[in-house]
Chain A
Amino acid sequence: MLKIGSGAGFSGDRLEPAVELAQKVDLDYLVLECLAERTIAIAQKEKQKDPTKGYDPLLIDRMHALLPVLNEKRFRIITNMGAANPTAAAKKVIEIAKELNISCKVAVVTGDDVVKELQTDQEILENRNTVKDYQTISANAYLGVEALLPALTTSADIIITGRVADPSLFLATMIDYYNWSIDDYERLGQGTVIGHLLECAGQITGGYFADSGVKEVPNVAELGFPYAIIQEDGTAVISKTPDSGGAVNLMTVKEQLLYEVHDPAHYLTPDVTADFSNVKLIEVGENEVKVSGGSGQKKPSSYKVSIGYHAGYLSEGEISYAGTTAVERGKMAEEILRRRLSKEIPDMRVDLIGCSSVHRISFGTHHPYEVRLRAAALCENQELAKRLGNEVEALYTNGPYGGGGARKKISECVGVVSTLLEREVVDKQVNVEVFQHEQ
């Protein structure tokens, strides 16, 4: 039966759980999902500066760690670590394979970059704007299994993509392995459920879950990553690396099933309108949950496109106060900042960390020993951004007593909005290329 492991749930995820999973379980596929919404826009800017860059910053480290295991055990890796430059990523992997004296074949899927396909009057999904209202950095279509399948039919050990819908990275392997038809929406829906459950790696094995005394998870510090054993009909058992930390149970699987889902009966991907609403979960063993009952209907007629745009400069300044009147002095400092900056920066946010910074309010009252003031604003230009940080820093000698640990930081802000593109426009530019290193 098909065995798929999940070796990364985001770009910065830990390296060693994927290695341990691949060593201890005989996987057919190891999927590494590393591409958040705006990561690709940041990568696009790197590619503009240097055409050999623009792939995931941890690609080199992950491949150094995984290629020796791949050489020994011969599973296949699928990853979206290509980010804005999958071809450069593939060449880099071949370079690493040469360094390590390992034979390796890499297939690259391109075609998600649709900057040239966008029309200026095209509508933005989130609001009433059009494309021309944004200073566009990148535009990438969420490709689906149809883009991945030709890469899977090559003999490549590693398949590298840019933007692909996360569950499709998993679903493509099921379609390929069991010869499912790409309009068998019932199976595609169930396969999408399994892909969705695996795509965030540690989030189904007790990560983003553990809660002291309430939701106890053994040995969270050495959280194992998940894998699924999938039957021909799509029914799967989710488990995790043997002898690792963490837990897979009804609670962790239920939480992940609804993670980032809106209407559970209509979960849209490029492959299917998946239906999660009749999913059945059974604990069939220790750290083993059987998942069935997912289904689906016809796929959407267009691709979702994510547009990265320049949104200004995020400026942040912080300073701490301690003692019985810490909160009062934090509030005094806020008032000083607002008096001095309200004309230039009317939309400044000020938080008292320790009181109300996370939700802007707190449920219930308490009196903390210390608070940290944080001021933040999105500024049009760097000069304004500097003003905010300087005013927070000036609270040292011009503000309430005992202010310490001032910090200031300016970062360029990349925003993301979405639009739709007809499938044909994108499909005609999808391509697969193979690179190889033979010992």
Chain B
Amino acid sequence: MNSKSMKLYEVAHSRAGDKGNTSNLSLIPYKEEDYEWLGKVVTAEKVKEHLKDIIDGEVIRYDVASIKAYNFVCKNSLLGGVTTSLALDTHGKSLSSALLEMEVNLPS
């Protein structure tokens, strides 16, 4: 059976936060039963690859099983940070939307 391809926004929501030049992107499945398989396919490496044109530094994933959510901490991702960045979205508040554009395969 072929696995089904989808974008993350179909199964999860996200919020971006900033501290200095680091952005954190949460990834929260709408259905808590999707937490396990999402963890298998949305690894820190996959997120770094998907956002390679945006994030210059490493990506670390923290798993928060008690609320069935993941937290991706993306270093060097805000062009210096909110106070001196030349970007329009200096906080990177819209980066959560970039994460949710990621294509994933639902394991069959």
Binding site for B on A (CB under 8 A): 37-38, 126, 208-209, 211, 214-215, 251, 254-265, 276-281, 293, 311, 314, 347, 349, 351, 353, 357-361, 363-364, 374, 376-378, 413-416, 418
Contact = CB atoms under 8 A, between A and B. Distances in A.
Contacts of A260: 17-19, 24
B13 A360 contact: no
Given A251-B28, A257-B67, A378-B86, 7 more contacts: A251-B13, A259-B24, A264-B71, A359-B94, A374-B88, A377-B86, A413-B84
A361 B64 contact: no
A56 to B, nearest CB: 18
Given A264-B62, A349-B86, A378-B86, A258 B20 contact: no
B20 A418 contact: yes
B61 to A, nearest CB: 11
B73 interface: yes
Contacts of A293: 66
Interface of B: 9, 13-15, 17-22, 24, 26, 28, 30, 53-54, 62, 64, 66-67, 69, 71, 73, 81-84, 86-89, 93-95, 98, 101
A278 B54 contact: no
Nearest to B18: A260
B88 A358 contact: yes
Contact of B101 (A349, A363, A415): A363
B88 A277 contact: no
A39 to B, nearest CB: 11
Contact of B66 (A126, A277, A347, A349): A277
Given A261-B17, A360-B53, A413-B83, A278 B66 contact: yes
A311 B67 contact: no
A3 B64 CA distance: 28
B78 to A, nearest CB: 12
Contacts of A258: 15, 17, 24, 26, 28, 64, 69, 71
Residue in B9, B21, B26, B86 with the greatest tally of chain A CB atoms within 10 Å: B86
B88 A311 contact: no
A280 B66 contact: yes
Nearest to A256: B15
A378 B71 contact: no
Contact of B26 (A215, A254, A281, A364): A254
A37 B71 CA distance: 23
B28 A262 contact: no
7 closest A-B pairs by beta carbon, nearest first, are: A260-B17, A258-B26, A255-B15, A349-B86, A363-B101, A259-B17, A376-B86
Nearest to B9: A214
Contacts of A374: 88
A275 to B, nearest CB: 11
A414 B86 contact: no
